[in-house]
Structure 1
Amino acid sequence: MDLLEEYADYLGCQYLSDLRYLKISPQQARRIEMLPDSGHTLDEYNEAARYILGASAPYSSIREARQAIIEGLMRR
């Protein structure tokens, strides 16, 4: 399962596109932070960040990309 599908499934989205409009709670954010990132590359995290957040600069680490995704999902 790719990273976007994993996030959509984990957050209960029926469609991948729901990730673009979803607002998450602090509890969901903490759970996302605890998900293992093994099996996913930095490129996959950058792709997920671009898809979920719109245009964004590439991140230099998985942790940085994941944090940007979480912050973006919480700000909506």
Structure 2
Amino acid sequence: MTQPIKPFDVVALTGDLPERGLLTGQVGTVVESLGKDVFEVEFIDDEGRTYALTAIGADRLLVLRYDLAQAASG
């Protein structure tokens, strides 16, 4: 079972968004939930400048985890 995406989650793109100049694997932060499974994601460079702020569907995002998590037992 996956946890729902929520504001302030760090996410990575699972596919290119060429219309926005974004590539698979780029990392952003969820800043707002816009509706069921649609999120406003902010992408920031190493200098802290926003280079993209766009709505993205949950199916195109992977939540990055920084803590120890147990694998689901099957």
Give TM-score, length-normalised by structure 1: 0.25
Structure with a larger share of its residues in strand? 2
Q: Larger Rg: 1 or 2?
A: 2
Q: Which has the higher contact order (CA 8 A, sep 6+)?
A: 1
Structure with a larger share of its residues in helix? 1
Give TM-score, length-normalised by structure 2: 0.25
